[in-house]
Each structure stands twice: as structure tokens, then as C-alpha cells.
């Protein structure tokens, strides 16, 4: 089952959560933390609030939102024809960083699903998100994408949201840095197939272990439109390029000779790196662990994006399932400038 849910941080008061709930009931858009990234949320009962999310983000109207709710017992209110595999995954991983794609019920408006008959559903694990959803009321839900401009790096702190949107978001619940730092794993359970549409906070191997079966991994060319599945996404404004380890040193020195101010992200300290750091060439040493790397990735990219580099080079992650989510985000980010 999912990890124990801890109490909200002491610096967030009950009054702040109540104020956020009041805003949602008025049809306003708020920002709130989840264990993955910060979300930009609206009560799905208010069509104008849903439209506001798309307007604020600059998000295409056919790009679906994920519906967040609080209780597993309400799953059949939001979805229909739920297969046994989906119930197994929900009971094991919820609350947690898992989004299930299921046939939507009549209670989900098409504006939330991008016009599709399927919906992405999740019960988040973050205590503030859960408290918010519980106080919103029974059989109520919040549609929420990540709280950033569409296509760019997701926020993993309240400060990221403030810098992104300023005063256009009146309520931002501050839950500290996100525990996972990458978006949820999206699993489609349509047509009796279990397919990973987006790798994320739950490993593919963990899903296979729970289901006791192999699952498909299809992040491209799926008939179901899922959040974060475009070729270009999660992008920095600074051009980002992925380099294999053996070519990274020579590539960074070529850019240095050309006078191109470059940041180089490494998974571990390599011989020959870091000795020639200058104003034009900066090294960032990240954990050589997929979970810790993923947790730090977006915050690192946002920091480098604000430091006027002309190029970001990233050491390619290992080609295995453990690094699949990190590789997915980096690949999509690198396509932005192609």
C-alpha cells in the first residue's frame, strides 16, 4: 500500500486551506502542492474555472486535465466500466503518484477531458492536497494540470509558481518542495490493456510486480491524448541538448571555445570535468540515482534557466526502465528548440 500520510507542515494553517476551498467554491483557480509537482486547480463543477486554467497556462483546449479527488470509494462516481486491473492499481498505489485513464462518467465534463470519452483520475498523496480535497466535499473533484506555462518546466515549489504567474493566482498553498519532483505515472486501462502512457513517479517494474503481468510502454502514438505526451514538453527556454557520456567533455569544450555560455549537468563527477570551470562553462553534479535525480531535475533546470546560459548540456541517462521517467522528460525538453 502507499506510504503513511503525514500531517500538513505546521506553517500552513487550517484557515489557509479553508480559504483555498472557499476560492474553489467561488469558481477561482488556485495553486496547491502534490507529491509530484504543484498543480493549478479548479473545481470541475465550474465551466468558467476550467476555461480559466486553459487561459492562464496557454494550454490547448484539446489537451486533457487530470481529475484529483480524495476517496477511493468515489472512483465509480467518476469512471465507468472499471476493469479489475485498475482497481488493483488504485488500491495499491493510491494515494500516490499514479494517474489512471478510464472511461469517464457523466459527472466529468468534456472540457476537462479534451473532448475524449476517457479521463485521467488520481488521488494525490501530499497531505495538503488531500486535506484540500477532503474539505472541498464528498463527490467533489479538482481538475489540475501542473502550475506552469504550457510546455515548459513544471514547478516543484510554491516560489516557482509565484515567479511563473505573479498576482494572477490569488491563492498559492505552500507545501514546501515536492517529494518526487516528476509528474505522476499515467496508466491507461482502456480496452483491457494496461499501457504506460507517461512514465513518472511510480516505476514500470513496480506496476508489473503488483499486477503480476507485463505492461506496454507507449509514450508516443497512442490514440488517447494524455497530459505531458507531446513531443516537445517540460522545456527550458534555454536550448537543452542531451549528450552521451563519452562525447560530453569534447562537446562542452567546443562550446567554450566558441564563447557560448554553457551549463553542463552530470550524473556523477567525471575525471576531466570541473577543472576548467569559468564564467562561460558551469558544471552541475546531480545524483547518480534515478529517484534523487528526478527529484532535483526541475528545480535545477529552472535555476539554470534564470542564469542567462546560452546552452544546457545534459549527460544522457542510462537506457533502462529505472531511468525511463527522467529520460522521457529530458527527451521532450530537448525537442523544444529543434
| Calpha distance 267→265 (Å, rounded) | 7
Cell numbers given for 329: 522528460
Strand, coil or helix: what is 324? helix
| Calpha distance 189→168 (Å, rounded) | 36
How much is the mean pLDDT over the chain? 90
User: Could you report the per-residue pLDDT of 76-124, keeping only the tens digit for each?
Assistant: 999 999 999 999 999 999 999 999 999 999 999 999 999 999 999 999 9
Only one residue has cell 470509494, namely 73
| Calpha distance 82→140 (Å, rounded) | 19
User: Could you report the per-residue pLDDT of 176-197, keeping only the tens digit for each?
Assistant: 999 999 999 999 999 878 999 9
User: Which range (17-21, 228-232, 248-252, 299-303) has the least confidence?
Assistant: 228-232
Q: What pTM value is reported for the model?
A: 0.92
Residue 276 has pLDDT above 70, yes or no: no
Residue 205 has pLDDT above 90, yes or no: yes
User: Please, what are the domains in the chain?
Assistant: 14-217 (3.90.870.10), 240-334 (3.40.50.11030)
| H helix or E strand, kind and range, residue 50 | helix 47-57
List the beta strands (DSSP E) in the chain: 30-32, 39-43, 66-68, 98-103, 118-122, 142-144, 185-188, 195-198, 216-217, 240-243, 262-266, 281-285, 311-315
Phi and psi for 48 in degrees, rounded to 5?
Answer: -70, -30
Residue 47 has pLDDT above 50, yes or no: yes
| Calpha distance 71→335 (Å, rounded) | 38
Label residue 246 by pLDDT band (50, 70, 90): confident
| Calpha distance 169→214 (Å, rounded) | 42
- CB-count exposure of residue 94 (10 Å: 0-12, 13-18, 19+): buried
| Calpha distance 134→142 (Å, rounded) | 11
Q: ∠268-272-276 over CA atoms, to 5°? A: 105
Amino acid at each position: 500500500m502507499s506510504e503513511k500520510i503525514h500531517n500538513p507542515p505546521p506553517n500552513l494553517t487550517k484557515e489557509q486551506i479553508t480559504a483555498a476551498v472557499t476560492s474553489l467554491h467561488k469558481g477561482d483557480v488556485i495553486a496547491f502542492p502534490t507529491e509530484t509537482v504543484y498543480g493549478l486547480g479548479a473545481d470541475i463543477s465550474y465551466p468558467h474555472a476550467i476555461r480559466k486554467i486553459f487561459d492562464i497556462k496557454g494550454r490547448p483546449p484539446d489537451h486533457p486535465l487530470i481529475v484529483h479527488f480524495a476517496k477511493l470509494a468515489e472512483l465509480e462516481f467518476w469512471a465507468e466500466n472499471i476493469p479489475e486491473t485498475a482497481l488493483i492499481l488504485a488500491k495499491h498505489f493510491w494515494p500516490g503518484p499514479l494517474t489512471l485513464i478510464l472511461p469517464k462518467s457523466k459527472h466529468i465534463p468534456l472540457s476537462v477531458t479534451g473532448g475524449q470519452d476517457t479521463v485521467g483520475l488520481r488521488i494525490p498523496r501530499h497531505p495538503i492536497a488531500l486535506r484540500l480535497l477532503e474539505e472541498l466535499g464528498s463527490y467533489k473533484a479538482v481538475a489540475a494540470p501542473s502550475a506552469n506555462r504550457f510546455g515548459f518546466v513544471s514547478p516543484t515549489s510554491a516560489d516557482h509558481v509565484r515567479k511563473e504567474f505573479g498576482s494572477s493566482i490569488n491563492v498559492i498553498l505552500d507545501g514546501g518542495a515536492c517529494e518526487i519532483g516528476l509528474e505522476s505515472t499515467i496508466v491507461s486501462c482502456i480496452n483491457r490493456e494496461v499501457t504506460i502512457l507517461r512514465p513518472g513517479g511510480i516505476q514500470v517494474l513496480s506496476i508489473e510486480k503488483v499486477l503480476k503481468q507485463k505492461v506496454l510502454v507507449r509514450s508516443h502514438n497512442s490514440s488517447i491524448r494524455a497530459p505531458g505526451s507531446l513531443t516537445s514538453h517540460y522545456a527550458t527556454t534555454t536550448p537543452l541538448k542531451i549528450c552521451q557520456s563519452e562525447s560530453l567533455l569534447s562537446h562542452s569544450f567546443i562550446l567554450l571555445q566558441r564563447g557560448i555560455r554553457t551549463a553542463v549537468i552530470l550524473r556523477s563527477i567525471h575525471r576531466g570535468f570541473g577543472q576548467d570551470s569559468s564564467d562561460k562553462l558551469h558544471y552541475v553534479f546531480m545524483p547518480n540515482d534515478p529517484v534523487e535525480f528526478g527529484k532535483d531535475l526541475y528545480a535545477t533546470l529552472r535555476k539554470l534557466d534564470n542564469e542567462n546560459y546560452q546552452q544546457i548540456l545534459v549527460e544522457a541517462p542510462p537506457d533502462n526502465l529505472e531511468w525511463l521517467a527522467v529520460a522521457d522528460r529530458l527527451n521532450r525538453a530537448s525537442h523544444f528548440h529543434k
